[in-house]
């Protein structure tokens, strides 16, 4: 009985001892961990931290001495206390150093994490800045940009650029760059012009070349840059060629005939060209109406070799609308050719340029037969040359290039035939002889819109009185004539629809 009592006492004692000892929960001493629960770190990915927030675990009532207020606080209070320990270099006893270190690393990771959109925009801006600093190279441009740049280059530059590489050759050969080809101011020989034939196509509509005649009297002015073979090749490569301008070329009539030029052209210019070995029995332009049937504009400016009888051949061009003979000094004393030409030909002629030629009143009297003529340009070729009588006044004389009131009057007023030709057929102009038909017999035939007659000293106010009846007239230039200021103002008041230019305009402006 006593033994049983002793055993029962021992069991009770052991039980009391166990109750008196601290809890066996895994709380470490200060020598190791600081009495806090060890934390597990789990990572699901680098971008997102899915580690749960760890709080100190209360395992026994003895923890009241460590966390005296945890038992009566909620979870939010514990979170606030733990966040405050991040900024405290000496955390409270309720949080472990591992916890503080863990949350510090997490905060650094959050600070290093950036918005993807912000990062992309910054990278794009950085790439744009780097591209803007890179040098712009020709081959980095698109074909469209290269085409725009090449459109501002001359044909010789395009040819040089095409020899650099295949891509530039392809772009430089684009048809849009070779529609209007102007080789000026360069002077190219026949062999040099041959190199451009591969660039021509059926879209080429205009070709302009220049020779060496301007270097006269140096021997080089006779250099021949054109040939029948070259003109034939141009006609083959450019079937739709409409304008061919050959300026200052030396053309051998025995080698290059008018039939060698492309037959489809509508505009031909031989400005300041020299024709050597011209035919003696006929004109160089003989049968031009057959070889160039579509010709509308013909420029023969400063062709001093052009004989007067060439007017007959040119008058047969059925579609000719503009004829420029400025500076053709041999065009004089040609009333016979002019009379036939304007009576039988020049059916579509609208613009006639006779400046610095030798035409006089006798030739002008033939122009009123052309009822389609709208623009006429006249100018005395020299600064003087008019004979004066004893009193110092201009005297009527038969000189090439002398145009008077009677010649201009014949352009717009057709009197009775015997009155008109009796005074004009011999070029006789005199102040004493002025036979004019009655007003009822005057008929306006010419449809002139523009009339330029400069530096003719025998043109007076009487011309304005006659031109008053030209109802189609809109522009009149009489600089260098004997037109007075009173006569000009009288004409302006009666014809306000006409722009009148005189020498007095510069003085009164």
0.75 exceeded by the pTM?
A: no
168 and 185 in a single domain? The answer is no
Q: What span, in angstroms and rounded, lies between the C-alpha atoms of 348 and 372?
A: 7
CB of 209 closer than 8 Å to CB of 215: no
pLDDT band at 11 (very low <50, low <70, confident <90, very high): low
158 lies in the same domain as 214: no
Pair (164, 257) in one structural domain: no
Q: Mark whether 483 and 357 lie in a shared domain.
A: yes
272 and 327 assigned to the same domain: yes
What's the N-to-C CA distance of the chain in angstroms?
156
| Beta-bridge mates of residue 251 | 275
Check residue 219 and give its pLDDT.
86
Question: Residue 221 sits in a domain of what CATH number?
Answer: 3.80.10.10
Name the pLDDT band for 200 (thresholds 50, 70, 90).
Answer: very high
pLDDT > 60? residue 31 = no
Spatial separation of the C-alpha atoms in residues 364 and 414, rounded to whole Å: 12
Mark whether 250 and 299 lie in a shared domain. yes
Q: Is the pLDDT of residue 467 over 80?
A: yes
Does residue 36 form part of some domain? no
For residues 199 and 332, state if they share a domain: yes
Q: Specify if 58 maps to a domain.
A: no
Q: 368 falls in which pLDDT band (50, 70, 90)?
A: confident
- The mean per-residue pLDDT over the stretch 386-408 comes to 60
**Residue range 265-290: mean pLDDT, rounded:** 93
pLDDT at 421 over 60: no
Q: Could you give phi then psi for residue 72, rounded to 5 degrees?
A: -110, 15
Range of the domain at 407: 179-381+402-414+440-501
pLDDT over 50 (residue 365): yes
CA separation for the pair 224, 175 (Å, rounded): 29
Domain edge (last residue) among 118, 151, 177: 177
**390 vs 134: which has the higher pLDDT:** 134
Q: Residue 144 sits in a domain of what CATH number?
A: 1.20.1280.50
- Does the pLDDT of residue 303 top 60, yes or no? yes
Instruction: Supply the pLDDT for residue 447.
Output: 83
To the nearest whole percent, how much of the chain has pLDDT over 90?
A: 47
- The percent of residues above 70 in pLDDT, for the chain, comes to 62
Residue-wise pLDDT tens digits, 213-225: 998 888 889 999 9
Domain assignment present for 425: no
> For residues 476 and 495, what is the distance between their CA atoms, to the nearest angstrom?
11
CA distance 80 to 4: 57
241 and 327 fall within a common domain: yes
Q: Are 171 and 190 members of one domain?
A: no
Query: From CA 145, how far away is CA 138, in angstroms rounded?
Result: 10
Give a yes or no: residue 266 inside a domain. yes
Q: What confidence score (pLDDT) does residue 507 get?
A: 61
pLDDT given for residue 445 in this prediction: 59
Residue 271 placed within a domain: yes
Q: For residues 94 and 82, what is the distance between their CA atoms, to the nearest angstrom?
A: 8
pLDDT at 336: 87
Span 191-211, mean pLDDT?
94
Of the three residues 128, 148, 177, the one that is the final residue of a domain is 177
The CA-based dihedral angle spanning residues 103, 109, 112, 117, taken in that order and rounded to the nearest 10 degrees = -120
- What is the length of the chain? 509
- Residue 125: predicted pLDDT: 65
Is residue 274 located within the same domain as residue 143? no
Judged by average pLDDT, the poorest of 24-38, 66-80, 379-393, 407-421 is: 24-38
What is the rounded average pLDDT for all residues in the chain? Answer: 75
- Which of 153, 177, 201 is the C-terminal boundary of a domain? 177
Taking only the tens place, the pLDDT of each residue in 146-193 is 999 999 999 999 999 999 999 999 999 999 999 999 998 889 999 999
- 68 occurs within a structural domain: no
Q: Please report whether residue 347 resides in a domain.
A: yes
pLDDT for residue 335: 86
Tell me what the mean pLDDT of segment 286-309 comes to: 95
Same domain, 266 and 148: no
CA distance 160 to 199: 12
pLDDT of residue 453: 95
Among residues 397, 368, 390, the alpha carbon closest in space to that of 457 is found at 397
Most confident of 30-34, 84-88, 269-273, 371-375: 269-273
Has residue 308 been placed in a domain? yes
Q: Which of 311, 300, 417, 430 is closest to 363 using CA atoms?
A: 311
* pLDDT value of residue 505: 75
Spatial contact of 435 and 379, defined as CB atoms under 8 Å apart: no
Q: How many domains does the chain divide into?
A: 2
Check whether residue 156 and residue 285 sit in a common domain: no
Query: 399-402 long-range contacts, Cβ below 8 Å, gap at least 24?
Result: 399/360, 400/332, 400/333, 400/358, 400/359, 400/360, 401/332, 401/357, 401/358, 401/359, 401/360, 402/360, 402/361, 402/427, 402/429, 402/456, 402/458
User: How many other CB atoms are found less than 10 A from the CB of residue 175?
Assistant: 12
For 476, the 3-state DSSP assignment is strand
pLDDT at 252 > cutoff 80 = yes
Q: Residue 238: which pLDDT band, with cuts at 50, 70 and 90? A: very high
């Amino acid at each position: 009985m006593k033994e049983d009592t002793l055993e029962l006492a021992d069991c009770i004692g052991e039980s009391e001892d166990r109750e008196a000892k601290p809890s066996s929960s895994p709380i470490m001493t200060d020598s190791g961990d600081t009495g806090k629960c060890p934390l597990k770190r789990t990572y699901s990915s680098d971008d997102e931290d899915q580690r749960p927030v760890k709080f100190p675990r209360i395992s026994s009532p003895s923890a009241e001495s460590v966390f005296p207020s945890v038992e009566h606080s909620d979870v939010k209070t514990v979170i606030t206390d733990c966040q405050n320990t991040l900024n405290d270099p000496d955390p409270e006893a309720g949080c472990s150093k591992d916890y503080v270190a863990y949350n510090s690393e997490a905060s650094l990771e959050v600070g290093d994490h950036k918005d993807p959109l912000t990062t992309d925009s910054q990278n794009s801006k950085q790439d744009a800045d780097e591209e803007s600093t890179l040098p712009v190279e020709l081959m980095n441009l698109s074909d469209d940009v290269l085409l725009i740049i090449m459109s501002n280059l001359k044909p010789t530059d395009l040819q040089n650029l095409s020899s650099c590489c295949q891509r530039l050759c392809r772009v430089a050969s684009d048809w849009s760059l070779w529609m209007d080809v102007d080789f000026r101011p360069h002077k190219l020989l026949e062999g040099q012009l041959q190199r451009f034939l591969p660039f021509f196509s059926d879209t080429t509509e205009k070709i302009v070349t220049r020779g060496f005649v301007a270097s006269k009297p140096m021997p080089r002015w006779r250099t021949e840059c054109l040939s029948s073979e070259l003109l034939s090749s141009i006609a083959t490569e450019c079937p739709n060629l409409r304008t061919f301008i050959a300026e200052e070329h030396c053309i051998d009539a025995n080698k290059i005939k008018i039939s060698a030029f492309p037959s489809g052209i509508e505009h031909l210019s031989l400005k300041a060209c020299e024709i050597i070995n011209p035919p003696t029995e006929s004109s160089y332009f003989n049968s031009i109406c057959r070889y160039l049937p579509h010709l509308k504009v013909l420029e023969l400016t400063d062709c001093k070799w052009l004989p007067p009888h060439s007017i007959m051949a040119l008058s047969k061009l059925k579609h000719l609308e503009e004829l420029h003979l400025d500076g053709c000094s041999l065009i004089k004393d040609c009333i016979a050719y002019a009379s036939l030409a304007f009576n039988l030909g020049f059916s579509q002629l609208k613009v006639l340029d006779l400046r610095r030629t030798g035409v006089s009143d006798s030739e002008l009297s033939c122009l009123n037969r052309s009822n389609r003529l709208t623009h006429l340009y006249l100018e005395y070729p020299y600064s003087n040359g008019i004979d004066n009588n004893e009193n110092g006044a201009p005297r009527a004389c038969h000189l090439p290039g002398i145009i008077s009131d009677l010649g201009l009057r014949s352009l717009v007023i057709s009197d009775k035939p015997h009155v008109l030709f009796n005074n004009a057929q011999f070029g006789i102009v005199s102040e004493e002889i002025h036979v004019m038909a009655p007003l009822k017999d005057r008929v306006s035939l010419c449809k002139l819109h523009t009339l330029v007659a400069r530096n003719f000293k025998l043109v007076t106010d009487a011309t304005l009185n006659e031109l008053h009846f030209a109802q189609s007239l809109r522009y009149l230039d009489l600089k260098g004539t004997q037109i007075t200021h009173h006569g000009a103002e009288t004409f302006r008041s009666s014809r306000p629809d006409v722009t009148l230019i005189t020498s007095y305009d510069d003085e009164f402006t």
